[in-house]
Amino acid sequence: MSNMRYVIFRMQDQLHFVEMPADYAYQLSALNRRLHKELDKLTATNVPILPYAVAECDNLEFIDPQYSVISGMRYINELEQSFSSINERTYPLISLLTEIRALQAQLEQWYEEEELLH
């Protein structure tokens, strides 16, 4: 498999490790910052609670067995589902969903191309 990078998220006292194609890890970190910047502008009651991207790294080796890696595709699909279920149809939600879905489409294409190469 191609070069992967890991985005580390923190939510309260929990860490989450998301494996991303190296060329897209920064996009996920930037999307996370943008989502946090716009969350307060949403007026719906079912706005998801998001972890904060705190670091990126190229290599990851777990010492504690309680942790595992989440695939970037799974993470972005869950993110899209949580934002598409928000009961609001105005800016900034439409803009945020567009950004999430754009990264989702890029990842889908990347994984399809990777499958063809292997």
Tens-place pLDDT, residues 62-93: 999 999 999 999 999 999 999 999 988 777 88
Say if strands 14-21 and 4-11 run parallel, antiparallel, or are unpaired.
antiparallel
Supply the pLDDT for residue 117: 82
Tens-place pLDDT, residues 12-65: 999 999 999 999 999 999 999 999 999 988 888 889 999 999 999 999 999 999
DSSP secondary structure string, 1-22? ---EEEEEEEETTEEEEEEEEH
- Provide the whole-model pTM: 0.92
